[in-house]
Amino acid sequence: DRMTLAALKDVPAETLDGINISLQANIELPDEVDLALANGATGIGLFRSEFLFIGRTELPGEEEQYQAYAAVVKAMQHRPVTIRTLDVGADKALDGEATVATNPALGLRAIRYCLAHPDLFATQLRAILRASAHGTVRILIPMVAHMHEVIAAKAAVESAKRELDKRGEPYADHVQIGCMVEIPATAIAIDPFADALDFLSIGTNDLIQYTLAIDRADNEVSALYDPLHPAVLKLIANTINAGIRAGIPVAVCGEMAGDPKLTRLLLGLGLTHFSMHPQQLLDVKREIRRGHSNALRQQVATALNRHSTIDPNVLQ
């Protein structure tokens, strides 16, 4: 396959043995959608909505959020747009919020924060639902560890719909809801989540941090931040397999998905949905088109059973 990167934009992301792989983009702000499309993204796999909220003193209201989400949804023209609800706390504190937690990575983050601030969560959900009237929107809940968080988040989506009904505002009939799998507990006891949700997305950045007890932002221990640790790979494999059993798609949207050196390994783990920074899409597509999914799966399964480390460079 000697195509130039640019020529890869419009060819399918298909393995040598004919498995079609979904390649979607991670974005932080609406104007990045052009870059995603220019690199052949077939959807937005992760819209990190917190970037609309951080670095400002007044939070965006429903209308401003709706405009931002709708702009992305319209630009993607019915390709799926996965909007992650606010993932604040820890390394992404809102302005003016006193950080009192001694260990913010283990504190009131993401869905925990949203469930503790129901008005803020409801405002965001109404804005997302209104944007769903313009295309295909999926709601992604970050940092889920407990099934009761899934149940509470779904109830919040339902009550946001009732509120829009009262106002006569349109939204799509079937807005899929999924969760991030980025806490080891979730990846280990994954089946109820796979049964209750429409899709899963593995956040390897946090999953590695929490599995190996390595602060992802602490340079002093960064050498120990190892995406290839067998425990990390087992958690990814466990999540992918639960998705297959439940018949729902499982993506990886952490940095691992965008590293072309890890593409064969992820194919070998059975991954069929990747989401990454737009600029990584074509490099990863090239690797996918060189890979033989079935052969990779056999090699990775053998190594995983031995709990041994895998050198991704030796996978054929």
- Kindly list the residues in this chain that would bind ligand PEP in the complex (CB under 6 A): 46, 48, 87, 182, 203-206, 253-254
First to last CA, the chain: 16
Longest CA pairwise span in the chain (Å) = 59
Q: Is the Cβ of residue 232 or residue 310 nearer to Mg ion in the bound state? A: 232
Rounded least distance, CB 203 to Mg ion, Å: 4
Contact partner, 253, from ligand PEP, Mg ion, none, Cβ < 5-8 Å per class: ligand PEP
Residue type, 261: K
Rounded least distance, CB 213 to ligand PEP, Å: 15
From residue 139, alpha-carbon distances to 5, 28, 185 in Å are: 31, 15, 21
Rounded to 5 degrees, what angle do the CA atoms 22, 24, 25 make?
A: 165
Number of H helices and E strands in the chain, helices first, is 12, 8
Residues 6+ apart with CB under 8 A from 232: 204, 207, 208, 211, 212, 226
Question: Whose structure tokens read 């899409």?
Answer: 281
DSSP 216-250: TT-GGGGGG--TT-HHHHHHHHHHHHHHHHHT--E
DSSP 166-200: HHT----S--EEEEEE-SHHHHHT-HHHHHHSSEE
Rounded least distance, CB 222 to ligand PEP, Å: 15
SS3 for 79?
coil
Measure the CA–CA gap between 53 and 60, rounded to whole angstroms: 6
Rounded least distance, CB 257 to ligand PEP, Å: 9
Contact partner, 315, from Mg ion, ligand PEP, none, Cβ < 5-8 Å per class: none
Q: Is the Cβ of residue 15 or residue 124 nearer to ligand PEP in the bound state? A: 124
Rounded least distance, CB 253 to ligand PEP, Å: 5
Q: Is the Cβ of residue 155 or residue 188 nearer to ligand PEP in the bound state? A: 188
Contact partner, 204, from ligand PEP, Mg ion, none, Cβ < 5-8 Å per class: ligand PEP
DSSP letter at 163 equals H
Rounded least distance, CB 19 to ligand PEP, Å: 23
DSSP letter at 109 equals -
Q: Is the Cβ of residue 180 or residue 288 nearer to ligand PEP in the bound state? A: 180
- List contacts with Mg ion (CB under 5 A): 182, 203, 206
Q: Is the Cβ of residue 124 or residue 293 nearer to ligand PEP in the bound state? A: 124
Contact partner, 160, from ligand PEP, Mg ion, none, Cβ < 5-8 Å per class: none
Q: Is the Cβ of residue 8 or residue 46 nearer to ligand PEP in the bound state? A: 46
Contact partner, 254, from ligand PEP, Mg ion, none, Cβ < 5-8 Å per class: ligand PEP
Question: Whose structure tokens read 């009904």?
Answer: 165
Cα-Cα-Cα-Cα torsion 303, 307, 309, 313, nearest 10 degrees, comes to 20
Rounded least distance, CB 271 to ligand PEP, Å: 14
Q: Is the Cβ of residue 89 or residue 135 nearer to ligand PEP in the bound state? A: 89
Rounded least distance, CB 205 to Mg ion, Å: 5
Q: Is the Cβ of residue 87 or residue 287 nearer to ligand PEP in the bound state? A: 87
Cα 75 to chain centroid, rounded: 20
Question: Whose structure tokens read 């958690």?
Answer: 235
